[in-house]
């Protein structure tokens, strides 16, 4: 069994809890090196060459409940499982991050039924928080297209769109928004 860096000894208990919900996500966590990084605010997946690691802010981790810690491990493992780190080419990084998080959090909350604190949920990007229907099982690419189309449409109407990020960080070109992407049934 994988043991985590000394900064995260409680991660092993969370991994055992995750194992009961998803053996696949737990297996991914067992094969990822978890590294403390005080220079980030939450957690992230990093790809260096072919090695995948998970970086977690110790102060963020220390402020989480057991349920929230389990959710964070599952969240980052889900990004790895769906290859989010290698997808999203041609989209601004912020759009890709918001779409990947909305898809990931929606699946973990509604399909895997992982529990989190109201405090963590209030900070999450979800399908609802970006104006899309929860449980819609959309791909990250589809959500990215919908987010860009919505942002461009609202920008053309003169409104400010800031559901999940600052509009200036999106760096979008509305010329590419000629028609909305088709929605899945």
Give pLDDT, residue 175. 34
Domain of residue 64, residue span: 1-86
Give the Cα separation of 119 and 56 in Å (integer): 18
Token pair 């109201």 is at which residue?
Answer: 118
Give pLDDT, residue 162. 44
Whether 185 is in a domain gets the answer: no
Q: Which of 51, 70, 86 is the last residue of a domain?
A: 86
Asked whether residue 81 falls in the same domain as residue 96, the answer is no
pTM of the predicted protein model? 0.77
Any bridge partners for residue 33, and if so which? 53
Q: Which of 42, 64, 86 is the last residue of a domain?
A: 86
Provide the domain count of the chain: 2
Whether 14 is in a domain gets the answer: yes
Query: What are the CB-based long-range contacts (under 8 Å, 24+) for 19-27?
Result: 21/74, 21/112, 21/113, 21/114, 22/74, 22/112, 24/81, 25/73, 25/74, 25/77, 25/78, 25/81, 26/77
Asked whether residue 62 falls in the same domain as residue 75, the answer is yes
Classify burial at 141, counting beta carbons within 10 Å of its beta carbon; exposed 0-12, middle 13-18, buried 19 or more: middle
Walk along the chain (185 residues) and give the pLDDT tens digit of each residue. 444 555 677 888 888 888 888 998 888 888 888 889 999 999 999 887 778 889 999 999 999 999 999 999 999 999 999 888 888 777 788 888 899 999 999 999 988 899 999 999 988 999 988 888 888 788 999 998 888 877 665 654 544 444 444 433 333 333 333 334 444 33
Q: Which of 29, 57, 86 is the last residue of a domain?
A: 86
Asked whether residue 104 falls in the same domain as residue 143, the answer is yes
């Amino acid at each position: 069994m994988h043991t985590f860096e000394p900064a995260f000894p409680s991660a092993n208990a969370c991994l055992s809890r995750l194992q009961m919900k998803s053996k696949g996500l737990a297996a991914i966590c067992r094969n990822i090196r978890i590294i403390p990084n005080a220079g980030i605010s939450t957690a992230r997946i990093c790809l260096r060459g072919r090695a995948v690691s998970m970086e977690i802010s110790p102060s963020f981790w220390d402020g989480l409940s057991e349920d929230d810690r389990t959710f964070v491990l599952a969240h980052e493992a889900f990004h790895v499982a769906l290859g989010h780190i290698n997808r999203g080419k041609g989209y601004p990084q912020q759009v890709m991050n918001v779409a990947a998080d909305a898809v990931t959090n929606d699946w973990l909350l509604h399909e895997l039924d992982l529990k989190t604190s109201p405090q963590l949920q209030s900070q999450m990007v979800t399908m609802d928080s970006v104006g899309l229907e929860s449980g819609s099982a959309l791909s990250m690419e589809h959500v990215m297209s919908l987010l860009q189309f919505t942002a461009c449409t609202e920008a053309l109407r003169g409104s400010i769109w800031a559901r999940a990020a600052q509009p200036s960080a999106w760096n979008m070109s509305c010329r590419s928004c000629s028609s909305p992407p088709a929605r899945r049934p």
